[in-house]
Amino acid sequence: MSKFNIIKESDFVKLDMTGMFDFEQTIAALNDILGQLDKDCLDDFLFDLVDSECGLNELDIYKIAEFMEDNVRLFKGRIALLLGSALAIDNSRFLKFCIQDPVIRVRIFFDKDIAKQWLASPPTLV
């Protein structure tokens, strides 16, 4: 069973995803984030994908990158992708490659503490 949970932390918004996620579920989770946030906020995001399985193909990932760029006013901060294994790195690197807007900064992490440290640092230290 797949589920997602949105948690507003002090320095960032955390999205915990567990189980298998396909394109529709991923877009639903991102839309839920958009509905909960202030339209003019500058939030950083931690997408915790450690306990999730990716059911996305390359076209799905490209469409997710387009969705984020279409909503750049909310995704204009930093995005930390927390992965549980090296198996998910190809899809994460492809997402990072597809996002062409320079104000959306994506980094991939395997350690939650290092990801939180990056999000807590000044935004100029990318």
In this predicted model, what pLDDT tens digit does every residue of 37-90 receive, in sequence order? Answer: 766 566 788 989 888 888 888 999 999 999 989 988 877 788 999 998 776 788
What pLDDT does 41 receive? 62
Q: Report yes or no on 81 lying in a domain.
A: yes
Q: Report yes or no on 126 lying in a domain.
A: no
One-letter-per-residue 3-state SS of the chain: CCEEEEEECCCCEEEEEEEEECHHHHHHHHHHHHHHCCCCCCCCEEEECCCEEECCCHHHHHHHHHHHHHCCCCCCCEEEEECCCHHHHHHHHHHHHHCCCCCCEEEEECCHHHHHHHHHCCCCCC
Q: Report yes or no on 22 lying in a domain.
A: yes
The pTM for the full model equals 0.83
Q: Report yes or no on 114 lying in a domain.
A: yes
Phi and psi at residue 32, to the nearest 5°? -65, -40
Contacts by residues 24-32 (CB-CB < 8 Å, ≥ 24 positions apart): 26/56, 26/60, 26/64, 27/63, 27/64, 27/67, 29/4, 30/64, 30/67, 30/68, 30/71, 32/4, 32/6
**How many domains does one find in the chain?**
1
Q: In which domain, by residue range, is 66 found?
A: 3-120
Q: Report yes or no on 58 lying in a domain.
A: yes
Instruction: Please answer whether residues 123 and 93 qualify as being in contact, where contact means their C-beta atoms are separated by less than 8 angstroms.
Output: no
Looking up residue 84, the CATH number of its domain turns out to be 3.30.750.24
Q: Report yes or no on 50 lying in a domain.
A: yes
Q: What does R_g of the chain's alpha carbons equal in angstroms?
A: 13
What pLDDT does 115 receive? 93
Q: Report yes or no on 125 lying in a domain.
A: no
Q: Report yes or no on 99 lying in a domain.
A: yes
